[in-house]
Structure 1
């Protein structure tokens, strides 16, 4: 039967009587041998794999090499500690229980910390490159990222308890009572968590879109988290709204279903003006603006005969909702300039007051 690496190393070390006489020195030598092996693996295997990964077009292999590098080296050294604990003579009972379990715990924590760190540092662009350039929805990516970190932490704690042989039956038995207490104490937090899940599932809005919430605030969605949604207003004010409120509120999404925004400009001209000329001037103003989309095409509608003016409405779409205020400003300025050039009068409200003299009887 072929000998394992452990037994082969033990057989080799028996050839040194001094090491067998001083068991602490033997254990230290074993750990040093594993540390040297880890360095050899780093120099020969890991670096060779990194060079090969850089030659490929895929980014996933680069991610795997970077992910396995440090945890793998630490694992080799900690396996050396476990090997050192297994040689004769046996360690004292307390040390024989603490050191191996501590080493196993460190191995688990090294890998879980590496996974959690990779999840935290991975951006949307990096994840897209790792998956071969596939499109990833930002909201789904954030949901996966946040939930994955919570699951990694939960299973790490559970596995550590199993390593230390903690009886989990009483823990699970009392979990129902503790769960009820936590649910009552943290009902708002749980409502926000499930509200966040509802927001992700309903897809009412995404990061980068402009929304108006029921209380009237308008801004760009900059982050959709598990607990809350962050909105940046046009005044550069950050608003944080709990997802429990967002899930139960009316939300106007100005960026959906198409990433454009409609602007309505109400314009009045004096009675007696050539209406066809006014319509053509307004359409020309819209066509000359490079932020106005061509499809759907801008249009002009005659809305009403007012008390002092003939009321037109210019309807058009701009490429980005964040341009609403600026483009309204520029379009109104251009309309005023064009009307002045073409002698189109923009009337203001006027009232005629007649005074009637009343005769006084003598």
Structure 2
């Protein structure tokens, strides 16, 4: 059988040093009383192969059983079933780790050539890495799903942000797994990492707008300045109900039933007035009205309060109020402040209140002044010829 040094000299990939060394030193862990039996078994390669594989399978099963029983005793004290699902997910790769190790030992006992033997061990190690990587995907999804349910402690992880976290986590797991696979097969990963860095920079420049919208969408969903169903005003003048909050854009439905799609990079840097946020969803309407000088100010206040109290869609809590704001150029300026249940009702209720205030002032004999000018002619021109 060729040695590891001879294998490298012949141009074959270097063996996986840690695994090979552990396999070669396995005999040193066998008790001295068992050494003669082990040597006799090794003298028959196929028998040694079968015995080693069978022993590895049994020991792997026992180890998984002990692993499961021990952790199950701990998980019984918890209320969540996440730890039980985690144990169930890790059982298979844990079993394969032990079984593949003994399978590698069995390969060493057959007496194959160094190149073939090293290739088989690398295949086993690669399958083991892939197995752990695939289980890592499931563990990642399980943990993110669990954290998203506990929003009180992890506000940034929500059902809508899980796909982004899962994508980033999978990329990291694939990158780590690929790095280990390159090392296993004796490939220097430095050049690959440098190439990936150059490609990443090129892709970043080419898709900078897309990436900006993606990350802005992530922070919008995480920070939640608004949500679907909220009425928002943007500093650019748009006002509408949020109908969709995605990773790339946000959509608003205006009062004209026109849908506006705004890139998240734009809306993420804009000043947003959320009419549906705050202590409650209620919104306040201000009805400004002027009364002629000489009007009874107390009567004006009573008439405005009566209008507010008679409207069915003006909420009782907070209560409506009237404020005497200023002495205008030609009027006493009052303001009726009422609360409505939802911002979407603002336009219609404002219209109805203006109509009712006008009618109430007419009935009460309160004059609403308006701007007017009087023209005085000092002297008519003479008709002399």
Shorter-chain TM-score: which interval? 0.5 to 0.7
Residue 207 of structure 1 pairs with residue 227 of structure 2: yes
Among 283, 289, 300, the residue aligned to 1:261: 283
User: What is the CA-CA distance between 1:31 and the residue it aligns to?
Assistant: 3.0
Residue 291 of structure 1 pairs with residue 311 of structure 2: no
Residue 88 of structure 1 pairs with residue 106 of structure 2: yes
User: What is the CA-CA distance between 1:156 and the residue it aligns to?
Assistant: 0.7
Among 86, 108, 125, the residue aligned to 1:68: 86
Rounded to whole Å, the distance in 2 between the matches of 1:73 and 1:232 is 50
Structure with larger Rg: 2
Residue 104 of structure 1 pairs with residue 150 of structure 2: no
Task: Report how many aligned residue pairs link the two structures.
Answer: 322
Normalised TM-score (structure 2): 0.61
Paired residues for 1:108-123 under 5 Å: 108-119=133-144, 121-122=145-146
Rounded to whole Å, the distance in 2 between the matches of 1:115 and 1:86 is 29
Residue 282 of structure 1 pairs with residue 304 of structure 2: yes
Counterpart in the other structure of 2:176: 159
Describe the superposition over 1:204-235 as per-residue Cα deviations: whole angstroms up to 9, x where unpaired: 9243653223262412376364x333546678
Describe the superposition over 1:141-177 as per-residue Cα deviations: whole angstroms up to 9, x where unpaired: 5797565334312321221122212432112323453
Rounded to whole Å, the distance in 2 between the matches of 1:106 and 1:303 is 77
Counterpart in the other structure of 2:10: none
Among 163, 173, 181, the residue aligned to 2:194: 173
CA contact (8 A) 1:205 1:211 kept: no
Rounded to whole Å, the distance in 1 between the matches of 2:351 and 2:45 is 86
Paired residues for 1:40-59 under 5 Å: 41-42=67-68, 44-54=69-79
Change (3 A) 1:29 1:327: farther
**SS of 2:241 mapped into structure 1:** strand
Rounded to whole Å, the distance in 2 between the matches of 1:292 and 1:47 is 57
Counterpart in the other structure of 1:242: 263
CA contact (8 A) 1:211 1:251 kept: yes
User: What is the CA-CA distance between 1:242 and the residue it aligns to?
Assistant: 1.7
Alpha carbon RMSD of aligned pairs, Å?
5.1
- Structure 1 unaligned spans of 5+: 55-61, 129-133, 350-362
User: What is the CA-CA distance between 1:249 and the residue it aligns to?
Assistant: 4.0
User: What is the CA-CA distance between 1:22 and the residue it aligns to?
Assistant: 6.1
Counterpart in the other structure of 1:314: 336
Counterpart in the other structure of 1:21: 47
Rounded to whole Å, the distance in 1 between the matches of 2:167 and 2:249 is 16
Change (3 A) 1:330 1:215: closer
CA contact (8 A) 2:291 2:333 kept: yes
Paired residues for 1:182-197 under 5 Å: 182-196=203-217
Normalised TM-score (structure 1): 0.64
